[in-house]
Amino acid sequence: MTVVVLGGGLIGLSVAWRAAQRGLPVTVVDDAPGGGASQAAAGMLAPVTEAAYGEEALLRLCLASLGRYPAFVAEVERAGGVPVGLRTQGTVVVGFDEDDMRALDALLEFQRELGLAVERLTARAARRREPSLSPRVRGALHVPGDHSVDGRALHAGLLAAAGAAGVRLVSSRVAEVRVVDGRAAGVRLADGTDLVADAVVVALGARSGALPGVPPLPVRPVKGQILRMRGAAGLLEGTVRALVRGRQVYLVPYDDGVTGDGLIVGATVEDRGFDAAVTAGGVHDLLHDAIEVVPGVSELELVETIARWRPATADNGPLLGPSEVPGVALATGHYRNGVLLAPVTGEVVAEHLATGELPELAAPFTADRFGR
């Protein structure tokens, strides 16, 4: 049973690593591993603050993955030799005007109905927790279980861990999936080389939708622009999310392993296809809102702006496990939760590859829920 994984981002590497640990020979094909959404992701592990009406199965999957995170990180750090910066200080969500506060109260009620750990904070209590918050904040929620990780460090760790487990990396683009007698037989690379495999895993993020050789998948790109800053040592304890007069922004501190004082501010949500432009308006809105929330952000060094694409599906849930082509497995469509869902995705898709069975937890996320 040989496996080719298309895509060397966080999801593809998690699948490849777990499959290799189960004794399967695995090759990852990617000409720029981690150059897609993994590079732009803020690294939030946020099942509670990302929870949405009607997405209870997704919430269960997200909570299951969050539960696996401490052990996953420890294992990646051990196997990959790279610290991946798991931060467990929780998340504060703040609002500015009456409408923001009404929205936060509705969120609180919804999260409580679902039995999630969340508490209401006065503005003063929020500032005790995060002293850099603006005095104009009207009130807040505290979500103790929503954490973060440094997505780029995690990617570097996974790359090393997968390599140590025997995963082979081929630096190339895939031209097509080869299907012979109705089942996957491998892939053809951009230079014409054929890689023979019993199973092909599609983990190409937003580019999973249109892959020659197999029927299109219901995955579309949703652009997110993000800012990376430096000089934020001590500015924030944990993640701060905000509604700033109706507009969402998040601020995620991270330790880049060099200066140890990074801050990520994100993100726009734009249906603009594969447009990678960082726009003046996008940067303006993110900076404006971040400075409203934490005025000290105006003192930071802006070191990077980047735009990438979330792989979105119609119900915001991922596509996991079998596809309509035997031998083609799916690990894509993670939309806003790719970093969070990496551990559980690696586990369930490796299980599917090794045994043909998909664990119950992942059953709601097979592609057939969207029809053919």
Judged by the rule CB under 6 A, the positions of this chain that interact with ligand GLY are: 42, 44, 224, 266-267, 310, 336
Task: Please say which residue, 27 or 337, places its beta carbon nearer to ligand GLY.
Answer: 337
Q: How far is the CB of 360 from ligand GLY (least distance, A)?
A: 26
Task: Give the distance, in angstroms, between the CA of residue 160 and the centroid of all CA atoms in the same chain.
Answer: 19
Q: How far is the CB of 41 from ligand GLY (least distance, A)?
A: 7
Q: How far is the CB of 122 from ligand GLY (least distance, A)?
A: 27
Shortest distance, position 63 Cβ to ligand GLY, whole Å: 16
21 or 337: whose CB is closer to ligand GLY?
A: 337
Instruction: Give the pair of three-digit tokens for residue 147.
Output: 């954490």
Nearer to ligand GLY, 167 or 243 (CB): 243
Cβ 25 to ligand GLY shortest distance, Å: 33
Nearest to 312 by CA among 28, 20, 8, 52: 52
- The smaller minimum CB distance to ligand GLY, of residues 42 and 342, is found at 42
User: CA–CA distance from 276 to each of 40, 182, 280 (Å)?
Assistant: 11, 36, 13
CB 243 within 8 A of CB 74: no
Smallest distance, Å, CB 27 to ligand GLY? 29
Smallest distance, Å, CB 44 to ligand GLY? Answer: 5
Cα separation of 234 and 260, whole Å? Answer: 10
Closer of 195 and 341 to ligand GLY (Cβ): 341
- Please identify, using beta-carbon distances, which residue of 80 and 266 lies nearer to ligand GLY: 266
Task: Give the 3-state DSSP-derived string for the chain, with helices as H, strands as E and coil as C.
Answer: CCEEEECCCHHHHHHHHHHHHCCCCEEEECCCCCCCHHHHCCCEECCCCCCCCCCHHHHHHHHHHHHHHHHHHHHHHHHHCCCCCCECCCEEEEECCHHHHHHHHHHHHHHHHCCCCCEEEEHHHHHHHCCCCCCCCCEEEEECCCEECCHHHHHHHHHHHHHHCCCEEECCCEEEEEEECCEEEEEEECCCCEEECCEEEECCHHHHCCCCCCCCCCCEEEEEEEEEEECCCCCCCCEEEEEECCEEEEEEEECCCCCCCEEEEECCCECCCCCCCCCHHHHHHHHHHHHHHCHHHHHCEEEEEEEEEEEECCCCCCEEEECCCCCEEEEECCHHHHHHHHHHHHHHHHHHHHHCCCCHHHHHHCHHHHCC
**For ligand GLY, which is the closer residue by CB, 224 or 296?**
224
Smaller CB distance to ligand GLY: residue 153 or 267? 267
**For residue 349, how many C-alpha atoms fall within 13 Å in the half-sphere facing its CB?**
38
**Comparison of 89 and 366: residue with beta carbon closer to ligand GLY:** 89
Q: Which two tokens stand for residue 40?
A: 């732009």
In the complex, the smallest distance separating the C-beta of residue 40 from ligand GLY, rounded to whole angstroms, is: 9
User: Two tokens at 101?
Assistant: 């506060």
User: In whole angstroms, how close is the CB of 224 to ligand GLY at the nearest point?
Assistant: 5
Complex with ligand GLY: residue 163 or 266, whichever CB lies closer: 266
Nearest-approach distance from CB 109 to ligand GLY, in angstroms: 22
